[in-house]
Amino acid sequence: MYVPFETLGELGDTVDVCVIGSGAAGVSIAVTLSRQGHRVLMCEGGDEIFSERSQDNYRGEIEGDTYIPLETSRLRHLGGSTNHWGGVCRSLDTYDFTAKSAAPETAWPISHDDLSPYFTAAAELLSLDPIPADEPIEGAEIQRIHFSLGTPVRVQHKYAEMISESEHLLCCLTANLLGLETENGHITRATFGNYAGKQHQVRARYFVLACGGIDNSRLLLWCNQQTGGKLIPQADTLGRYWMDHPHATVGQALIFTPEALGLDETYNVFLSPSEHALESRQMLNCGLRLHRMNAEAAQALIEELSTQAPTLGEQIRTWQADGRVIHGAMLRAAWEQEPRFENRVELSEELDSLGVPRSRLVWTQSALDRHTIRESLLLLGEYLLEENIGRVQLADWLAALPVTLPTDGELAGRHHMGGTRMSHRPEEGIVNTDCRLFAQDNMYVAGSSVFASAGHANPTLTIVQLALRLCDHLEQRLA
């Protein structure tokens, strides 16, 4: 049930878990633990619906490569960025959790098997469509992969009744985290403020920070500064190893044998390199997306190809005369970004309306990031050429070396990952394998900020799997 901000200070010692944030991770944890009978307080800094006063706190600075303005790449009200989530979903690949030879920093301290038990519950929570198994393509080092592409769930709507009526789940809006107090490695109180300048303190047995892939870092940087480093004594990696999935239109293709890729049955086909290809080509993971063109666009592409390769053009015309359908495809991609210490969230000198320093994002794409997307397209092109089932035309920016990345268009997936990296040791990350701050007995971090690497898949399903795994851990501790 909803509780007014003015009553936060009256809750005393009754709260088992205080969840800070109400996006995919926060709602998953709050709903799951409250269903188990635990008293959960979910504090959301925004309003129930979009408001400028809340969203403005997401403004920040960007340094490095061209990126999406920070205030438009996420949402700050009940439900968080699930309110503009597109619903495209799959788990990370098994080998995404391992050290890729091109970038050993991609290794996670947990494995794919540690998250697999939470797939079914996460899929139900997100109302996902069934995701078919991936399919190797014979003779190729690429595979056909699948996503859930159903109607995206809006968690604030799906769980509206529970949030409104549950006696175990308390939801407080406009409750913005301003500070954390720690004593002997234990968070004793969290301070929240609203837009009227009022403040209240909350006590809880456990705290979970779930404010997204930028603000988890920003708030911990700020709180750590206020405590003189007592919150996170070893903070060298705090805000570091930040990642997104670069996105771009990367070319177009003619497919002479659409059934070889499944493009005869559907308008959209998804491909990715095999694990062996990542090793042999010294690249990271990538998701290629083939979007079937209409007949007129495909014919225009055939005519363009015919001027460049007359013999092939004549063969295509013969095939068409015999009734063969040649499909054109627009090629788009989302690829894995190398986890690098230099990419980071840090505090700006400018304060937001609540008195908290705004974010400054330092983000550049590396030579390996560029190599990954170029090799992915070459991999597809070589397969189509060798089997004579199609041809690829690289986008101009990708055809020439060195690769110069686009400065307009999609740019990235708005998938904010890293910054509070999961690791085995505090010298290498911010949270342990249970997502707990190393130096605090009762403070956890949830969401994609704990990702050690990104793979190519949209992160929402993995976020919820991690959140449900954290719920199991907290359930054991609460018991």
* pLDDT at res. 150: 81
pLDDT of residue 168: 96
pLDDT of residue 9: 86
Q: Residue 117: how many CB atoms within 10 A of its CB? A: 12
Which domain CATH number covers 195?
A: 3.50.50.60
> Encoding tokens for residue 355?
């008195």
**Taking the model in full, what pTM does it have?**
0.97
Cβ atoms within 10 Å of 302's Cβ, excluding its own: 17
Q: With cut-offs at 50, 70 and 90, classify the pLDDT of residue 141.
A: very high
* Local confidence band at 139 (pLDDT 50, 70, 90 cut-offs): confident
Could you report the per-residue pLDDT of 412-439, keeping only the tens digit for each?
Answer: 999 999 999 999 999 999 999 999 999 9
What three-state secondary structure class fits 188?
A: strand
Structural domain includes residue 200: yes
Please, which residues bridge with residue 411 across strands? 247
pLDDT of residue 85: 85
pLDDT at position 265 = 87
The answer on pLDDT for 478 being more than 90 is yes
Does residue 38 form part of some domain? yes
Model confidence band, residue 264 (pLDDT cutoffs 50, 70, 90): confident
Other CB atoms within a 10 A radius of the CB of residue 279 amount to 14
Q: Of 63-72, 190-199, 299-308, 328-337, where does mean pLDDT reach its minimum?
A: 299-308
3-state secondary structure of 9: helix
Q: What is the pLDDT of residues 150-180, one digit of tens each?
A: 888 888 888 888 898 999 999 999 999 999 9
Question: How many domains in the chain?
Answer: 1
Give residue 195's pLDDT band: very low, low, confident or very high (50, 70, 90). Answer: very high
**Is residue 282 in a domain?**
no
> pLDDT tens, 348-388?
999 999 999 999 999 999 999 999 999 999 999 999 999 99
CB neighbours of residue 472 within 10 Å: 12
State how far the Cα of 298 lies from the Cα of 296, in Å rounded to an integer.
Answer: 5
* Residue 463 lies in domain: 5-98+153-239+416-478
Asked whether residue 134 is assigned to any structural domain, the reply reads no
In a domain, 474, yes or no: yes
Q: What is the pLDDT of residue 153?
A: 83
Assess if residue 177 is contained within a domain. yes
Count Cβ atoms within 10 A of the Cβ of residue 343 and give its class: 0-12 exposed, 13-18 middle, 19 or more buried.
Answer: buried
DSSP letters for 103-141: BGGG--SS-HHHHGGGHHHHHHHTTPPP-PPPEE-TT-S
Q: How many CA atoms lie within 13 A of 447 on its CB side?
A: 30
Q: Give the mean pLDDT of 46-67.
A: 97
- Other beta carbons within 10 angstroms of residue 51's beta carbon come to 14
In a domain, 170, yes or no: yes
Q: What is the pLDDT of residue 412?
A: 96
Residue 336 in domain: no
Mean pLDDT calculated for residue range 276-304: 96
| Residue 406, φ and ψ in degrees, nearest 5 | -60, 150
